[in-house]
Amino acid sequence: MMTDKSVRVGVVGTGHLGSHHVKHFANINEAALVGIFDINKNRSKEVAKKNNTKSFPSLKALIEKTDAISVVTPTESHAKIALQCINSGKHVFVEKPMTNTISEADALVASATKNNVILQIGHIERLNPALVALKPYNLRPKYIEIQRLAPYQTRGTDIPVVLDLMIHDIDIILSIVKSKVQSIKATGLSILTKSIDIANARIEFENGAVASMTSSRIAQSKIRKVKIFQNKLYSTIDLLLGLTEIYQVNRYTKDKLKSSTNFLFEADNRKKIISYIKPTIKKEDALKLELINFIKSAKGADEPIVNGLEGREALKVAIQIQDTIMKDLK
């Protein structure tokens, strides 16, 4: 691991998301943006010029000059590129989904362990401020419901909606529930593309928790909402608006009634207090925070928000959901 000096970082892939990676790395104090590589040479040169960095002629040339690489290319190329970087002793950040297959994901995890390098997966919602606001609470959900809807756009349609959108929510759920998956039920449809455009999945966990997810890329408007239910607590989170609301059941005391956000109710002949909590959400650029975490992890000063094993688990569940849908459609 690195300690004092800046991490020499490069970006592979300069499309819509890749260009944001380049912009952020150029402005992170502990990172030294060495350059970028893209098979589209013209785009690579354009993004390099805009961010005052170098466009490299090949991946090999970029790897030789860096300590860490961010892979922001189409999913089908993740495994090959990331593996080349890892085997060259570089720390690697891979955007979600980490690979196309579980065997590819296993190869990346094994290689990162062997080469003693960081492998971080880009599940950005982990750093959504509205979700982070729930950290102080002891979450042990019995039921989670998530909606993630988006208007149609050509970008991202090379993969099914489960791997494009729903995988965000799979990662959120796995990080909160912290239990093994017991069973999965899923259904979906192809409407505008040759791939699955809308999907619903229900996951049951060994600890009794249940999660329901709906993802669509053919909606009229964007919706990204989470509902969490557990004993004595209910929370709604709007990931788009950055709004978190919590309703918590507490023991009745007269003092608690003095607060305008506490409400009295009676159940089973007992008085109880419902506390309404609306945490102050600090607006942050989640991608920037994610990339700062990657740089600090490369230096040994932090741990990846989502490591390779966690990325693999999200991918595994996503593939199981996708396979279930495809079987249902046959």
**Residue 317 in domain:** no
At 156, is the pLDDT very low, low, confident or very high (cuts 50, 70, 90)?
low
**Residue 102 in domain:** yes
CB contact at 8 A, 228 and 177: no
Residue 228 has pLDDT above 80, yes or no: yes
Which residues constitute the domain of residue 57? 7-124+286-305
Take residue 160 and report the two structure tokens written for it: 């099914």
Tens-place pLDDT, residues 236-278: 999 999 999 999 988 777 666 666 678 777 777 788 888 899 9
Strand partners, 7: 31
Residue 216, C-beta contacts closer than 8 angstroms, at least 6 positions apart = 148, 149, 150, 161, 165, 197, 198, 199
**Residue 239 in domain:** no
Strand partners, 247: 234, 276
Is 111 or 272 the better-scoring residue by pLDDT?
111
**Residue 99 in domain:** yes
What does the pLDDT read at residue 271? 84
**Residue 299 in domain:** yes
Q: Domain count of the chain?
A: 1
Give 220: exposed, middle or buried? Use CB within 10 Å, 0-12, 13-18, 19+: exposed
Take residue 242 and report the two structure tokens written for it: 């950055």
Tens-place pLDDT, residues 37-73: 999 999 999 999 999 999 999 999 999 999 999 999 9
**Residue 271 in domain:** no
**Residue 119 in domain:** yes
What does the pLDDT read at residue 254? 67
**Residue 63 in domain:** yes
Strands of the sheet containing 31-37, edge to edge, are 54-55, 31-37, 7-12, 68-71, 91-95, 119-122
How far is Cα 206 from Cα 275, in angstroms, rounded to an integer? 30
CATH of the domain at 34: 3.40.50.720
How far is Cα 46 from Cα 55, in angstroms, rounded to an integer? 9
How far is Cα 21 from Cα 291, in angstroms, rounded to an integer? 8
What does the pLDDT read at residue 266? 78
